[in-house]
Amino acid sequence: GFKMGIVGLPNVGKSTLFNALTKTAAAQAANFPFCTIEPNVGDVAVPDARLDKLAEIAGSRQIIPARMTFVDIAGLVKGASKGEGLGNQFLANIREVDAIAHVLRCFEDGDVTHVDGRVDPVADAETIETELMLADMESIEKRLQNITRKVRGGDKEAVQQERLLKAAMAALEDGRPARTVEVDAEDAKAWKNLQLLTTKPILYVCNVDEASAATGNEHSAKVQAMAEAQGAAHVIISAQIEEEISQLDAEEAEMFLSEMGLEEAGLDRLIRAGYQLLNLQTYFTVGPKEARAWTIRKGALAPQAAGVIHGDFERGFIRAETIAYDDYVTLGGEQAARDAGKMRAEGKTYVVADGDVIHFLFNA
């Protein structure tokens, strides 16, 4: 599955946000299988109204949403790259995630201490980014040393690694994160394997006061400008509101949201923004037993999509019987879509579309 790491300075609202996420997940746990919750890891359902619609049409007994994992990565402080706070341990945690949700304090509250004594989310973002850049530089130096012998021996992989590490180092020494390096298609895989912290895509989460949840405030406006300049994503959320909502049932939550002038829970927006940031999309498998959503990268081919269900489905892939979501809903189900000629037999080179309803045929 895909993993988002929640980072941020102390006292910005990370735990509040994470608790809201996992409480919502815990409330769902009774209804959904495969929901494991550890102290700092939360497996959260990806909200998708289409799945409910499909289940209703097919009369599915069970609904299984797609999932995204959130990891609460505490302990990031100034000096973390030098081992301050939880230091290197948390840096190792960040290496494992696919993207970073960077929580920034955009609320004023005299009772909640800011580590640097003032609310300045753009400066906070720079503090964290600097730590990540320093950590990358340190790990690049080590790795360059470790591969010198192989490079001298002419090992092709090591030569490629050295070239990429040096490109990353040049950017970092120039004060830029490694994600600003342009990488050729043939280097893309090796580049990703370097697992540099500053190559991870970033979603800035502006944690605003309750009154600004619908509109944002002057702090979140600055973050937005920064995010746009960097080509990063951002969402505006009030962690406190989200925590309150996570304690309500669905009906109460809806009333509460509309009172606040919000169309949907911030967590839903957060999850969706993460989905977008990671370039993900959904396809569905639908039957009387269950309706289920699966997550794939945009551009994934049918066999790769099948592989998300089971490796055997990918290896033995024969074809994908596919109905577009709109056809399934408009025509009123699988049989009707089939009768109308809207079920397509797609082969190995089919690029799966968002919302496709699929049956895979495969050799066991």
Best CA proximity match to 361, nearest among 308, 331, 316 = 316
**Between residues 74 and 183, which has the closer beta carbon with respect to ligand GDP?**
74
Using rule CB under 6 A, residue 211 touches ligand GDP:
no
Q: Tell me the torsion sign for CA atoms 257, 21, 199, 129.
A: positive
Using rule CB under 6 A, residue 319 touches ligand GDP:
no
Q: Tell me the torsion sign for CA atoms 330, 335, 341, 347.
A: positive
Tell me the C-alpha distance between 172 and 163, whole Å.
14
- ∠ CA 54-57-62 to the nearest 5 degrees? 65
Using rule CB under 6 A, residue 12 touches ligand GDP:
yes
Least distance (Å) from ligand GDP to the CB of residue 72? 8
Which tokens belong to 354? Answer: 């968002």
Q: Is 13 annotated as a binding residue?
A: yes
Using rule CB under 6 A, residue 112 touches ligand GDP:
yes
Using rule CB under 6 A, residue 13 touches ligand GDP:
yes
Using rule CB under 6 A, residue 207 touches ligand GDP:
yes
Tell me the C-alpha distance between 49 and 63, whole Å.
11
Q: What mask, x for binding ligand GDP by CB under 6 A, covers residues 15 to 34?
A: xx------------------
Contact indicator for 162, 147 with CB cutoff of 8 Å: yes
Q: Is 348 annotated as a binding residue?
A: no
Return the range that interacts with ligand GDP (CB under 6 A); candidates 51-59, 86-94, 107-115, 322-330. 107-115
Return the range that interacts with ligand GDP (CB under 6 A); candidates 8-16, 174-182, 214-222, 331-339. 8-16
Using rule CB under 6 A, residue 85 touches ligand GDP:
no
Q: Single out the residue of 1, 11, 31, 82 in contact with ligand GDP (rule: CB under 6 A).
A: 11
Q: Is 115 annotated as a binding residue?
A: no
Using rule CB under 6 A, residue 121 touches ligand GDP:
no
**Per CB under 6 A, which of residues 223..242 are in contact with ligand GDP?**
238-240
- CA trace torsion 44, 201, 106, 19 (10° rounding): 20
Using rule CB under 6 A, residue 14 touches ligand GDP:
yes
Q: Which residue has the tokens 């290896």?
A: 315
Residues in the chain: 364
Those residues whose C-beta lies under 8 Å from the C-beta of residue 163, and which sit 6 or more positions away, are: none
Q: Parallel, antiparallel, or unpaired: how do β-strands 41-45 and 67-72 relate?
A: antiparallel
Least distance (Å) from ligand GDP to the CB of residue 202? 17
**Between residues 12 and 300, which has the closer beta carbon with respect to ligand GDP?**
12
Contact indicator for 109, 208 with CB cutoff of 8 Å: no
Using rule CB under 6 A, residue 252 touches ligand GDP:
no
Least distance (Å) from ligand GDP to the CB of residue 236? 11
The neighbour count for residue 341, using CB atoms within 10 Å, is 8
- List contacts with ligand GDP (CB under 6 A): 8, 10-16, 107, 109, 112, 207, 209, 238-240
